[in-house]
């Protein structure tokens, strides 16, 4: 079987403790949902990523690149092929004056904390965003009037042939929750962010304010994938879902949060199927009542 051969190839350049076989994806997503990945790999540098991709392509095995899994819903039968997780082992960061350079696997909250420690302003909005910088850059994550497009200066990416090159902010084609990196034909390796010199106490006060608001309004104590739907033109998904009477509505172990209707939470060992049924029910109710089509913000993957 090609996976056995691939596993032995991977072992030749990656230590065994960073290669997982039949790894439950619920252990790698904030939703705590998802069947097993055939192989999950935790690379440490660009060279390892390049070799993993080359191995997968030579063996005809599909691969999927993820960050911290905070915006990811994995289906119940899991993921065939190889999952390349850019998170805890791919997370270096450095600061040069007002520029922060980091690998894509570092947590957004860590990058925001480093910005604070260096009295750099511009990342305050991101201090409570879960997930990796890479995921945030790809989806142009934002909150409280800020978004990643405001701070990204350039990125380093790798195509599937192993070529590594830089892309400027302009080349990323940013718009609301979108970038060209969502095509999935490149792997985001490094991010360079340009911030503004600021006053430590003022930056910290803004971050504390945003974090307090998050804790009051969002169900941070329950597994979820953050906002379930993108903001529709001229409105807010959570407001429409609440007006449709769906707060607390439940299918299986998945429920519309009774704190913030824009979140779907896993309250009792929810399956992906539970969440997908709930998403479809929400979309239908909001369309029927308000003639607004909601678009999921959660990335759904697997089989």
Catalytic residues: 177, 227, 297
280: left (phi over 0), alpha (psi -120 to 50) or beta: alpha
Rounded Cα–Cα distance for residues 20 and 38 (Å): 8
> 3-state DSSP call for residue 293?
coil
Rounded Cα–Cα distance for residues 155 and 256 (Å): 36
Structure letter (DSSP) for residue 225: E
The residue whose two tokens read 């040069």 is: 96
For residue 86, which of 72, 106, 100, 102 has the smallest C-alpha distance? 106
Question: Could you tell me where the beta strands, DSSP code E, fall in the chain?
Answer: 19-24, 36-41, 63-66, 72-74, 79-85, 93-96, 99-103, 120-121, 142-143, 146-147, 152-159, 164-168, 186-194, 196-197, 224-227, 250-251, 254-256, 263-266, 299-301
């Amino acid at each position: 079987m090609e996976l056995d051969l691939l596993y032995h190839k991977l072992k030749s350049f990656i230590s065994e403790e960073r290669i997982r076989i039949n790894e439950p994806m619920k252990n790698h997503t904030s939703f705590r949902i998802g069947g097993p990945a055939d192989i999950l790999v935790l690379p440490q540098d660009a060279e390892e990523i390049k070799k993993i991709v080359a191995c997968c392509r030579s063996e005809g095995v599909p691969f999927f690149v993820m960050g911290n899994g905070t915006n990811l819903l994995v289906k119940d039968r899991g993921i065939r092929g190889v999952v390349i997780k850019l998170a805890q082992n791919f997370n270096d960061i450095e600061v040069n004056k007002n520029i922060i350079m980091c690998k894509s696997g570092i947590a957004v909250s860590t990058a925001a904390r480093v910005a604070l420690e260096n009295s750099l302003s511009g990342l305050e909005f991101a201090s409570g965003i879960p997930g990796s910088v890479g995921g945030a850059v790809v989806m142009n994550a934002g909150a409280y009037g800020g978004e990643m497009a405001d701070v990204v200066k350039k990125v380093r990416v790798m195509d599937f042939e192993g070529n590594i090159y830089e892309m400027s902010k302009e080349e990323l084609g940013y718009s609301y929750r979108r970038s060209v990196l969502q095509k999935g034909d490149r792997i985001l390796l490094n991010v360079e962010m340009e911030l503004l010199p600021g006053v430590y106490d003022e930056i910290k006060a803004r971050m504390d304010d945003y974090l307090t608001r998050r804790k009051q309004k969002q169900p941070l104590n329950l597994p979820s994938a953050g906002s379930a739907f993108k903001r529709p033109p001229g409105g807010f998904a959570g407001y429409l879902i609440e007006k449709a009477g769906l707060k607390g509505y439940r299918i299986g172990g998945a429920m519309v949060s009774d704190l913030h209707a824009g979140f779907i939470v896993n309250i009792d060992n929810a399956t992906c199927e539970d969440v997908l049924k709930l998403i479809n029910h929400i979309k239908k109710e909001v369309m029927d009542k308000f003639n607004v089509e909601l678009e999921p913000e959660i990335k759904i993957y697997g089989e």
